[in-house]
Structure 1
Amino acid sequence: MGPAAVRAHDSRHRSAAPLEISGGQYSPVVWADIAGWNNDNHLDAFKAFRASCRAVTGRRRSAVSRKALGVSLREPCRAAKAANISDDAKAKAFFENRFRAVRISRLGETDGFVTGYYEPIIDGSRTRTDVYTVPVYRRPSNLFVRGFSQSAPSLPNNGPVYRKIGRRKLVPYYDRAEIEDGAIAGRGLEICWLKSQTDLLFTQIQGSARVRLEDGSTIRINYDSYNGYPYTAVGRILIERNIIPKEQMSMQRIRQWMTDNPDGARELRRQNRSYVFFREVKLSDNDEAIGAQGLPLTPGRSIAVDKTLHVYGTPFFIEGELPIQSEQAKTPFHRLMIAQDTGSAIVGPARADLYLGAGSEAGRVSGRLRHNMHFVMLVPNSLDPIARAKTMPLPETRPSAKIARLFPPNDRKPANAPQASAPSSLPADEQTGAASVPAAKAASSEITPLPPERSEVGSAHKPRHRTHYRRRWHRRAR
């Protein structure tokens, strides 16, 4: 953006609030310079955005609305709810007229990073049997998060989590190993039972599941809370141990290795001390999973983002190539996505988890997505992406020569050290003039010496010898 563009930008948006995203770098970009923007299905993206607007405009004092971006989304959301948009051209014009495009990435980097997630469909039972032995737990009543009531409908997915002992004592909650070993068993917390700990682990990673019961019915479970320990990626551990090469890493490879190595799988699972608790949700088989925004997700349009930096409902255009068709494929991906979910592993200003739907096929595709992509964030017109840069302080000016002389480099010789005489190229009369500088002026050019160090003052009283205290103690003992 050149000087003329900046002046034009200033004249149009003098009252716009500054956009601030910690740890991110961003620059405005024109729509024509966004690869694939004109080829996307903007109507599908508009429908997902308008669904998010129900939550954006419906909450008066939500935590996210206190962010400048959360407040600014209300205006385009009100316009979306009032608009009658039924074709792609109008949807595209809506985004271009209500938002400004800002290319965003982590500070010092050029690309963002995407992964994929889905809703597994797994077999289970309402009761424990010889086949189904692994419980799916709901939130325990003794799980406590500061600032939230124990009956709060939702809890944060980061930060410390405690368990209450008595009325006041708080200690860190049980980790995965303790829970697997039965720390909360027998308390009536079981929603259902699964076949293996591997099934449970991947359900916890995805955050939701459809559990097919023995009678043919299905129950839906969704993320509710966690035990307070940071998520550790088991795939990264397998790469670091040279068990699975990085270029071959996928969810399917992890699952296969765990099946073939049950003892190793147990140890590997417990490296991830994080443990997720679920709640049962009343959804039909036709409904998609519920995201953290409290709305059904849209396959291919919903993404999970870092909720500490971003606001649900924000549109992101993600561009690049992904292995959609096969593991080796480089399918062009240019799509406008809507932030509607989050995850503990989704950290950073240009980090997204793409929701791909439910079932095994969605699982195969999502399991192989680990790719760098370009991120363009759509910012409402009421926010100014360059205003913050204009108020950043400039570096301090260099110190004057007078101040610099008080702090000489270490290799400078002391002022009273003898110096070797060198022939001068000045005329004789100028040499004499230089030597006859007044004493006061010459003194001002010398280095001011530091005062001598003060001598240590000895203690007036010596401490009593330890044996003296021992003798007194023995006297008391008698």
Structure 2
Amino acid sequence: MSGRRVALVTLLAMLAAAGAKADAASLSPVAFSAIPGWAEDDHAAALVTFRKSCQAIDASAAPLRPGVPGGAALAAACAQAAKADPAGARSFFERVFSPFRVGRGQLTGYYEPEISGSLKPTRRRDTPLLARPSDLVSLAQGETAPGLPTGLQAARRTSAGLKPYPTRAAIEDGALAGRGLELVYLDRVDAFFVHVQGSSRVRLPDGSALRIAYAGRNGRPFTAIGRLLVQRGEMTPQTATMASIRAWLAAHPEDGRALMRRNDSYIFFQIDKSLAPADGPRGGQGTPLTAGRSLAVDRTVWPYGLPMYVDGVTPDGAPLRRLTIAQDTGSAIVGTARGDFFAGSGDAAGALAGSMRDDADFFVLLPKPTKDAAR
């Protein structure tokens, strides 16, 4: 068997052990020294974030939802991480993982908004965030049922079987009214962007705050309204930032409402009382996200907990070279070389995240076989 074939077989085994579904042929082994900015990164910060993921990878940790991986390879890496000295974090990652170049793809950003809300509807805050309905059934990747269109990621349980869940427009028109699902009321545009981001800190009139966390989605396809505005000639790809989209929606309230309803995807939420004020929101893995170190990935390709290195730029052109951990996902995050960078909480993080949409080089760190990692 040729050396190339041996390497490919070994890589396939590593991918399977890690729970990934990436095409091994698309990955190229590289040396750590060949990764731009690797030596200068704060590996101790990445180690802290990786250890948070290990709490969910461990078999005794309750996952947020079914499907959180706890593969033997990542579990073994977690055992090594528990003993690692932060001062030797770089050595830990180089000893326990092997780096591979995934390819070049789009790097966007997201954040946790901090917005004002109310527990009761008001003239300005008339749009509720809804709790997860009891008849919502999340579907596994590729799962379907008789009568369901292919590609849906959730469905509605009925006496006649599974049916497509109502669209955003239908829900806004009252498809779930009268079920007591309302958690908090927001301005319409604020509510829409909380759906896009997947979480929020909501400041109430009495000064207290609620942490709003993702609890499910209606399974309908996501449509980016920024792309629709570009197609209509209202903006260019360069000017379609989160800030400019919000400004357009505010200036065109009726047309903006119709535009937002073009996105059939609808998110359901829960109030998370377990997070400390300093914690980030919970990602898809169920662990609190870390600003600058958590990455949302395509969950059908990469398992949660894998270290992913990104080599990109910030909106102002500065290098963004960072070892991140796959801890979240999103309906718009599709593909092997695709990531969504968690920028943090609040307006400053939002300004950064809303302008991130450049290409970046992606690298994945796959855990070595246990006997090799222990050397």
Q: TM-score, normalised by structure 1?
A: 0.69
Report the secondary structure of 1:257's partner residue: helix
Q: Residue by residue, what CA displacement relative to the aligned partner does 1:124-155 show, whole Å, maximum 9, x if unpaired? A: 111122332111110122323458xxxxxxxx
Between the aligned partners of 1:268 and 1:9, the Cα distance in structure 2 is 49
1:212 aligns with 2:213: no
Between the aligned partners of 1:352 and 1:184, the Cα distance in structure 2 is 33
In the alignment, residue 243 of structure 1 is paired with which amino acid? E
Between the aligned partners of 2:341 and 2:218, the Cα distance in structure 1 is 25
Aligned to 2:15: 19
Report the secondary structure of 1:220's partner residue: strand
Between the aligned partners of 1:146 and 1:356, the Cα distance in structure 2 is 29
Match of 2:119 among 120, 123, 126: 126
Match of 2:313 among 317, 321, 324: 321
1:369 aligns with 2:356: yes
Shift of the 131–248 alpha-carbon distance from structure 1 to 2, 3 Å rule, reads closer
Shift of the 238–7 alpha-carbon distance from structure 1 to 2, 3 Å rule, reads closer
Aligned to 1:63: 67
1:246 aligns with 2:250: no
Residue pairs, 1:92-111, within 5 angstroms: 92-105=90-103, 111=104
Match of 1:179 among 168, 171, 181: 171
In the alignment, residue 122 of structure 1 is paired with which amino acid? I
Residue pairs, 1:413-432, within 5 angstroms: none
Residue pairs, 1:233-382, within 5 angstroms: 233-282=224-273, 283-323=275-315, 329-382=316-369
Per chain length, whose mean CA-contact separation is higher, i.e. which structure has more relative contact order (CA < 8 Å, sep 6+)?
A: 2
Between the aligned partners of 2:170 and 2:10, the Cα distance in structure 1 is 57
Shift of the 163–320 alpha-carbon distance from structure 1 to 2, 3 Å rule, reads closer
In the alignment, residue 17 of structure 1 is paired with which amino acid? A
Q: CA deviation at 1:6?
A: 5.7
Q: Residue by residue, what CA displacement relative to the aligned partner does 1:286-335 show, whole Å, maximum 9, x if unpaired? A: 22111111111110000011111111110011112221xxxxx2101111
Q: Does the 8 Å contact 1:123/1:213 carry over to 2?
A: yes
Between the aligned partners of 1:364 and 1:94, the Cα distance in structure 2 is 34
Report the secondary structure of 1:46's partner residue: helix
In the alignment, residue 31 of structure 1 is paired with which amino acid? F
Between the aligned partners of 1:294 and 1:128, the Cα distance in structure 2 is 30
Q: Residue by residue, what CA displacement relative to the aligned partner does 1:167-202 show, whole Å, maximum 9, x if unpaired? A: 23432111111111122122211101112x211110
Q: Does the 8 Å contact 2:305/2:327 carry over to 1?
A: yes
Report the secondary structure of 1:339's partner residue: strand
Report the secondary structure of 2:244's partner residue: helix
Q: Does the 8 Å contact 2:107/2:312 carry over to 1?
A: no
Q: CA deviation at 1:47?
A: 0.9
Between the aligned partners of 2:55 and 2:268, the Cα distance in structure 1 is 27
Aligned to 2:160: 168
Between the aligned partners of 2:363 and 2:138, the Cα distance in structure 1 is 35
Residue pairs, 1:35-46, within 5 angstroms: 35-46=36-47
Q: Residue by residue, what CA displacement relative to the aligned partner does 1:71-109 show, whole Å, maximum 9, x if unpaired? A: 3111111111123x131xx1111111111110013xxxx
Q: Does the 8 Å contact 2:130/2:183 carry over to 1?
A: yes
Q: Does the 8 Å contact 1:306/1:342 carry over to 2?
A: yes
In the alignment, residue 48 of structure 1 is paired with which amino acid? T
Between the aligned partners of 1:298 and 1:162, the Cα distance in structure 2 is 31
Aligned to 2:373: none
Shift of the 236–48 alpha-carbon distance from structure 1 to 2, 3 Å rule, reads same
Between the aligned partners of 2:10 and 2:190, the Cα distance in structure 1 is 54
In the alignment, residue 372 of structure 1 is paired with which amino acid? D
Q: Which runs of 5+ in 2 are unaligned?
A: 141-150, 371-375
Q: Does the 8 Å contact 1:16/1:382 carry over to 2?
A: no
Between the aligned partners of 2:23 and 2:5, the Cα distance in structure 1 is 27
Match of 1:139 among 132, 136, 151: 132
1:73 aligns with 2:74: yes
Aligned to 1:445: none
Structure 1 segments of 4 or more deviating over 6 A?
Answer: 7-10, 13-16
Between the aligned partners of 2:232 and 2:208, the Cα distance in structure 1 is 41
Q: Does the 8 Å contact 1:134/1:193 carry over to 2?
A: yes
Aligned to 2:145: none
Q: TM-score, normalised by structure 2?
A: 0.87
Return 358-367 or 170-179, whichever deviates more.
170-179
Aligned to 1:159: 152
Report the secondary structure of 1:253's partner residue: helix
Between the aligned partners of 2:354 and 2:74, the Cα distance in structure 1 is 32
Shift of the 116–8 alpha-carbon distance from structure 1 to 2, 3 Å rule, reads same
Q: Which runs of 5+ in 1 are unaligned?
A: 106-110, 148-157, 324-328, 384-478
